[in-house]
């Protein structure tokens, strides 16, 4: 039984960008 955690569960998911549309900016991508 091998389990390697790559990314833990998150309580709040935030998705800052909208890849669907050209109109959404690179907000916060420093």
Partner 1 sequence: MQPSTFNLRVPMPDGDVFLLNTLTDAQLIVSGDVVALLDRIGGDAGGQAALGADQRDALLTLAEHGFVVTDQGAERASLESFFAAFREDASQLRITILTTLQCNFACDYCYQGDHGIGPAGEKMSLETAARVAGWIARQVDAVKPSRLVLTFFGGEPLLNIPALMHIAETCHAHADARGIEQIVSIITNGLLLTPELVDRLLPLGLTGVKVTLDGDRETHDRVRPLRGGQGTFDRIIENVRRVADRVPVAIGGNFDVSTADRYPALLDFLKAEAFAPRLSTITFKPVIKPAAAPGAPAPRTVDGKMLIPVTAVGQNRPPLNGSCLSVAGASSGSICDNCHFVDDQMSFLREETRRRGFATADGVHMGPCELYRRHSHTIGPDGSLYACPGFTGENALSVGHISGRRDTVQADAAGRFDKLAPWRQCGDCSFIPVCGGGCAVAAHAELGDMETPSCHKRSFESALVSLAEEAVGAATGRVQ
Query: Applying CB under 8 A, which residues contact partner 1?
Result: 1-10, 12-13, 15, 17-30
| Token pair belonging to 5 | 């955690």
Q: Tell me the CA distances in angstroms from 25 to 10, 15, 18, 19, 28, one per residue in order.
A: 24, 12, 8, 9, 9
């Amino acid at each position: 039984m091998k389990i390697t955690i790559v990314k833990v569960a998150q309580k709040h998911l935030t998705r800052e960008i909208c890849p669907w549309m050209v109109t959404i900016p690179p907000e916060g991508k420093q």
